[in-house]
Amino acid sequence: TTNTVTSAVDTNGLFSTADLAPNLNFSPSPPRVVLVNPATNRWLFSGQIGGAQFNGTAFAEGINASAFQSGAAWDPVTDNIYATNGTEFYASRNLKFLYGGFSCIGSSNAVAFNPMTSRVYVSCGNSQSGGGIVIFDGIALSNAPAKTNIAPLARALLGAQPEGVAVNANTNRVYVAGMTSPTSLDVLDASTYQLLASI
């Protein structure tokens, strides 16, 4: 309300070593993604080698390493975090990996989550293989044993690799930057995964 900074958090050194040797020395990693969970009022940052959750300015807990570099989404109900690191898609809950890997050729830069349907939308592909989005069931990811290979529900592979993904939970539409061409904004019906418009 006042447009002023009320507090600041130093994120240097706040990362998980769950998948990293504790004696490795990493340079400071700037935050690349910031998310807020409206159900818990927690927020998190993530960077090159992990990140952390906070209650206000107080450290709450770490989040798993090696994810969340390019894009992420937070399920406020299950507390799952869905993320991409430019190469792979990850699902995790705090320091527990639920899923890690990717079921398409190419890389992944963005992810979005619909809390009304528990669907996770992940960008996929490269210029050689084509690209689009891959859709996962967030409930299946949440209930699976750690690191289980969960198959995606569907794919909408329409040409190029998306650089951004967003969901309108009220209309159940998915907005994808650069899926049918590098300069397009594409709108999909999330019920059928059909392309409605390419702008």
Give the residue with greater pLDDT, 29 vs 45. Answer: 45
Strands (E) located in the chain: 33-37, 42-47, 50-55, 58-63, 71-74, 81-84, 89-93, 96-101, 111-114, 119-126, 130-137, 154-157, 164-168, 173-177, 185-189, 194-198
Question: Are the CB atoms for 9 and 57 separated by under 8 Å?
Answer: yes
What pLDDT is attached to residue 14? 62
- Cα separation, 27 vs 194, whole angstroms: 44
Whether the per-residue pLDDT at 173 is higher than 60: the answer is yes
More confident residue, 198 or 28: 198
pTM attached to this predicted model:
0.82
Q: State the amino acid at position 29 in one-letter form.
A: S
pLDDT for 22 equals 43
Instruction: Give the pLDDT band of residue 21 (cuts 50, 70, 90).
Output: very low
Q: Give the C-alpha separation, 99 to 48, whole Å.
A: 18
Share of the chain above pLDDT 70, in %: 78
The whole-angstrom separation of Cα 118 and Cα 121 is: 10
Over the chain, what is the mean pLDDT?
80
